[in-house]
């Protein structure tokens, strides 16, 4: 049955990285609207809180192990969902983490690990789900990108480039999948008050007192901490995902947060040099 003609109670949603933050709130938001929601995560031991919240509200939510960096884990999870529910209508690619540090200080292994989760994780899960959606002739793939998919900043070369890659992938996919009734959506959060900062990985060499970029890295961490204090709640992102999931004609992009809307607007209005000077001043 085409997605547009189904009630939310008959639709199946899959969310990656659901143990905390945006994925946590998104899984609960979808389940509260009646979507049968599979809240997936790499480590099931971290699923206690979302299970507790779900049980309290008697939500249609199931917790499932899925490691976006592991082919076998992804294949097993998708097959289990299809065996259990017969379809997948919404895929929210949310799993990811931040790697920070000057580019010269980043090891190739650190960059590869960042891409393996943030970009190839999206590729891996999406390719597993696409044949199902194509057979259904319906579906929505909602990729949690970032304002960092629109502009760079010092110390963010690895993380930012994964989000730029996600933007290009998603925009290209939107053309390919439209004839099959499948919509691709990008949600681009600004700074969100989650434990994302706690999970951020700092490049080993950037922590070395001998690093030529030590002062920049410290300033970057200070600025990020200040921005986090005034960040938007993860529920803001979850509500935008829900809006896109329920829309018959969703936008390609949704900006999440006043901060990112302001930055993107300035990026459009300024020359590259003007925007560079503004960002450079922020991190000096």
CA 10 to chain centre: 25
Convert 248-274 to b/e letters by CB count within 10 Å (16 or more is b). eebeebbbbbebbeebbeebeeeeeee
pLDDT per residue of the chain (284 residues) written in tens, 0 to 9: 555 555 666 899 999 999 999 999 999 999 999 999 999 999 999 999 999 999 999 999 999 999 999 999 999 999 999 999 999 999 999 999 999 999 999 999 999 999 999 999 999 999 999 999 999 999 999 999 999 999 999 999 999 999 999 999 999 999 999 999 999 999 999 998 876 555 678 889 888 899 999 888 888 888 877 877 788 899 999 999 999 999 999 999 999 999 999 999 999 999 999 999 998 888 77
pTM score of the predicted model: 0.93
pLDDT tens for each residue of 29-73: 999 999 999 999 999 999 999 999 999 999 999 999 999 999 999
Q: Are strands 36-41 and 61-65 parallel, antiparallel or unpaired?
A: parallel
Residues listed for the chain: 284
pLDDT of residue 217: 85
Domains parsed from the chain with CATH numbers = 3-282 (3.40.50.720)
Residue among 94, 93, 95, 89 nearest 36 (CA):
89
Select which of 24, 38, 159, 213 is catalytic. Answer: 159
**Known active-site residue 254:** no
Residue 251 main-chain phi, psi, to 5 deg: -70, 160
Q: What is the pLDDT of residue 256?
A: 96
The pLDDT of residue 201: 85
CA distance 246 to 26: 13
Q: What is the pLDDT of residue 37?
A: 98
């Amino acid at each position: 049955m085409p997605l547009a003609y189904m009630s939310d109670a008959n639709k199946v949603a899959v969310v990656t990285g659901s143990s905390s933050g945006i994925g946590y709130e998104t899984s609960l938001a979808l389940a509260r609207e009646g979507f049968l929601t599979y809240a997936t995560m790499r480590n099931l031991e971290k699923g206690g809180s979302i299970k507790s919240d779900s049980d309290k509200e008697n939500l249609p939510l199931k917790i499932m192990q899925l490691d976006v960096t592991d082919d076998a884990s992804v294949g097993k999870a998708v097959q289990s969902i299809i065996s259990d529910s017969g379809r997948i209508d919404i895929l929210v690619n949310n799993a990811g983490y931040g790697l920070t540090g000057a580019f010269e200080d980043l090891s190739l292994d650190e960059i590869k690990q960042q891409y393996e989760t943030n970009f190839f994780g999206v590729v891996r899960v999406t390719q597993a789900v696409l044949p199902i959606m194509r057979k259904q002739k319906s579906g929505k793939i909602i990729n949690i990108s970032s304002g960092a998919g629109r502009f760079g900043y010092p110390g963010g070369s690895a993380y930012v480039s994964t989000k730029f890659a996600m933007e290009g992938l998603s925009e290209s996919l939107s053309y390919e999948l439209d004839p099959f009734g499948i919509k691709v959506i990008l949600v681009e959060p600004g700074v969100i008050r989650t434990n994302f900062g706690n999970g951020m990985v700092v490049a080993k060499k950037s922590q070395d007192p001998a690093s030529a970029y030590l002062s920049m890295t410290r300033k970057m961490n200070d600025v990020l901490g200040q921005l986090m204090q005034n960040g938007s709640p993860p529920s803001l992102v979850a509500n935008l995902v829900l809006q896109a999931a329920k829309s018959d004609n969703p936008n390609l992009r949704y900006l999440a947060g006043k901060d990112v809307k302001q930055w993107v607007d300035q990026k459009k209005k300024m020359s590259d040099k003007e925007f560079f000077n503004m960002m450079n001043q922020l991190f000096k």
